């Protein structure tokens, strides 16, 4: 991704050799944006000072690299291919906007990049934002492959979308919410469709009132969305919730019952949330998710929702943290393209085809709650406003069902020969695919930033050798 030396951004059309003034101007511009008190950068600077190889690279970078690799001292040859990206500023070697980490600190930084157990791809994306060294990509790969947690939690995750949602026009315009339980605790998760930013909140109960309180705290932080999507949970169907909706002024959309795919964004968010909550420090895991590019958009949830990257435990140059709005058109295009790709590969793997629409008056068979067979006959009353859903009449009872759970029959009398049988996917093998798609080793996420919760974070500790000591956080108790 990085393609040019920082010098080229200073002097875009530069063809002449750099003068000392040019170099100093660049160094000054870098220094002026660096927080003077950043202890982490100071540690890297100090370690770089004691790293003979880096010192040599910095020296050659300042003086100019030889034309051919054969003239480069053997000790620093592994940097030769990257020489166009390297520069030196304030006693730090940089690779574009990334800090080159000295050998003595690489293990520790790898550990930090791996925080959140997000898989190989996302760990690499994370590193791309801020740090570099020769062979970092390979080292990330083996780190993840050797990690038990990553290996155990990897496969199950990603199911892909059948129905791709269009990316909203701006952050926090459309959000989804869902309740879930993990090891006996109840949580509420809220996800922004645009940025994929996630908020995870603990629930003391599952009443409308409790859920509304939590949503209010999230809305206080991010504002009121235009549209809130949820399932048909009783919390969302009360008079209290209706009142909340009117008072705060948002539209509430519920997904079709018995068709999880329709509320796929929330389902996917729940999976990500559980992945985060299972970790020893869920807050760091959530932070890592928010600070890592989402493959579909190529941007981090933080930069899409706030227009800035957040500072994490991975070292980063101050200028990367400066506010900068991503280009919406580019993001939207990337997202649409990714979703098309997910849909195609899903359809290919599952052999699914679009089912023909139904007309009012059509006879269908459907499965009711707990029914394994297509035993219930019904008549289509109308198309529902939610996509691919219909209102049906089962002889007095009106229900909403997704098209997938409706099987057209010619007449109620000859239901043994369903007309479009061949077009109906095998429901028994259905894997409830979801709406939001992630790559195989991608993990989205979040946690409770609610001002009302008292979270006791355990400070980081190190052994005498400098290794990080991770104390489990009594997260579940504290939340
Ligand atoms: Zn891991």
Q: What is the pLDDT of residue 106?
A: 98
**What's the gap between Cα 47 and its chain centre?**
33
Beta bridge partners of 94: 87, 99
- Cβ atoms of 283 and 447 closer than 8 Å: yes
Q: Report how far ligand 1's centroid is from the alpha carbon of 116 (Å).
A: 7
- Cα of 354 vs centre of ligand 1, distance in Å, is 38
156 CA from centroid of ligand 1 (Å): 15
* Tokens (6 digits) for 342: 């997910």
Distance from Cα 104 to the centre of ligand 1, integer Å: 21
Instruction: Check residue 395 and give its pLDDT.
Output: 83
Residue identified by tokens 């989804």 is 176
CA distance 161 to 437: 6
Q: If you measure from the C-alpha of residue 73 to the centroid of ligand 1, how many angstroms do you get, rounded to a whole number?
A: 37
Asked if residue 160 lies in contact with residue 435, where contact means CB atoms within 8 angstroms, the answer is no
- What's the gap in Å between 189 CA and the centre of ligand 1? 23
Q: Of 439, 338, 441, which is closest to residue 116 (Cα–Cα)?
A: 441
Could you say which DSSP state residue 385 is in?
S
Q: Which of 247, 263, 266 is nearest to 255 (CA)?
A: 263
Each of the 479 residues of the chain gets a pLDDT tens digit; together they read 444 443 333 333 334 445 555 555 555 555 555 544 578 899 999 999 999 999 999 999 999 999 999 999 999 999 999 999 999 988 899 999 999 999 999 999 999 999 999 999 999 999 999 999 999 999 999 999 999 888 887 644 344 343 457 889 999 999 999 999 999 999 999 999 999 999 999 999 999 999 999 999 999 999 999 999 998 899 999 999 999 999 999 999 987 655 555 556 666 889 899 999 999 999 999 999 999 999 889 999 999 999 999 999 999 998 899 999 999 999 999 988 888 877 777 666 665 556 778 889 888 888 776 666 677 888 899 988 877 788 998 888 888 888 877 888 776 544 443 333 333 232 222 232 333 333 333 333 333 333 333 333 333 344 455 554 444 443 333 22
CA distances from residue 40 to 115, 285, 466 in whole angstroms, order as listed: 17, 20, 13
Cα(276) to centroid(ligand 1), Å = 11
Alpha carbon distance 218, 220 (integer Å): 5
Q: Which residue has the tokens 């880096």?
A: 54
Q: What is residue 20's predicted lDDT score, i.e. its pLDDT?
A: 55
Cα(311) to ligand 1 centroid in Å equals 21
pLDDT at 367: 72
CB 109 within 8 A of CB 101: yes
Residues, CB within 5 angstroms of ligand 1 (ion): 117, 147, 149-150
Which whole-number Å values give the CA distances from 250 to 33, 172, 218, in the listed order? Answer: 41, 12, 14
Distance separating alpha carbons of residues 30 and 400, to the nearest angstrom: 60
Q: How far is the CA of 195 from the centre of ligand 1 (A)?
A: 24
Please give the distance, rounded to the nearest whole angstrom, from the Cα atom of residue 284 to the centre of ligand 1. Answer: 13
What is residue 409's predicted lDDT score, i.e. its pLDDT?
Answer: 76
pTM: 0.66
Distance in angstroms (rounded) separating the CA atoms of residues 56 and 80: 12
**Distance of CA 133 from the midpoint of ligand 1 (Å):** 20
């Amino acid at each position: 991704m990085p393609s040019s030396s920082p010098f080229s951004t200073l002097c875009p059309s530069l063809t002449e050799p750099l003068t000392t003034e040019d170099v100093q101007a660049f160094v000054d511009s870098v220094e002026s944006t660096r927080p003077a008190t950043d202890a982490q950068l100071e540690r890297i600077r100090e370690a770089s000072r004691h790293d003979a190889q880096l010192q040599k690279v910095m020296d050659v970078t300042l003086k100019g690299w030889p034309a051919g690799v054969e003239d480069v001292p053997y000790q620093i040859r592994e940097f030769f291919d990257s020489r166009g990206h390297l520069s030196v500023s304030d006693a730090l070697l940089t690779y574009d906007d990334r800090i080159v980490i000295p050998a003595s600190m690489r293990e520790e930084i790898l550990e930090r990049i791996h925080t959140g157990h997000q898989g190989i791809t996302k760990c690499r994306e994370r590193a791309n934002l801020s740090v570099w060294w020769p062979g970092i990509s390979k080292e990330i790969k083996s780190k993840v492959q050797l990690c038990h947690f990553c290996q155990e939690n990897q496969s199950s995750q990603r199911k892909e979308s059948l129905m791709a949602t269009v990316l909203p026009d701006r952050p926090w315009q459309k959000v989804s919410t869902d309740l879930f339980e993990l090891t006996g605790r109840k949580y509420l998760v809220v996800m922004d469709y645009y940025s994929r930013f996630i908020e995870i909140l603990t629930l003391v109960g599952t009443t409308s009132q409790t859920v509304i309180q939590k949503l209010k705290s999230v809305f206080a932080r991010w504002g009121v969305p235009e549209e809130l999507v949820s399932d048909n949970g009783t919390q969302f169907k009360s008079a209290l919730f209706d009142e909340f909706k009117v008072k705060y002024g948002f539209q509430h959309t519920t997904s079709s019952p018995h068709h999880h795919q329709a509320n796929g964004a929330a389902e996917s968010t729940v999976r990500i949330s559980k992945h985060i909550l299972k970790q020893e420090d869920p807050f760091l895991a959530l932070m890592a998710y928010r600070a890592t590019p989402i493959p579909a958009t190529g941007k981090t949830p933080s930069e899409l929702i706030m227009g800035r990257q957040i500072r994490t435990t991975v070292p980063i140059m101050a200028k990367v943290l400066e506010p900068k709005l991503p280009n919406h058109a580019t993001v939207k295009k990337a997202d649409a393209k990714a979703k098309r790709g997910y849909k195609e590969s899903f359809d290919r793997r599952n052999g699914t085809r679009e089912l023909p629409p139904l007309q009012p008056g059509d006879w269908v068979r459907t499965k009711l709650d707990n029914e394994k067979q297509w035993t219930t006959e019904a008549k289509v009353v109308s198309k529902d406003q939610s996509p691919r859903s219909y209102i049906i009449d089962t002889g007095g009872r009106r229900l909403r069902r997704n098209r997938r759970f409706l099987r057209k029959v010619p007449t109620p009398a000859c239901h043994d020969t369903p007309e479009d049988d061949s077009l109906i996917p095998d429901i028994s093998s259905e894997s409830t695919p979801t709406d939001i798609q992630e790559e195989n080793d991608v993990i989205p996420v979040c946690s409770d930033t609610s001002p009302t919760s008292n979270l006791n974070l355990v400070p980081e500790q190190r052994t005498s050798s400098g290794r990080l000591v991770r104390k489990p956080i009594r997260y579940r108790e504290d939340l």
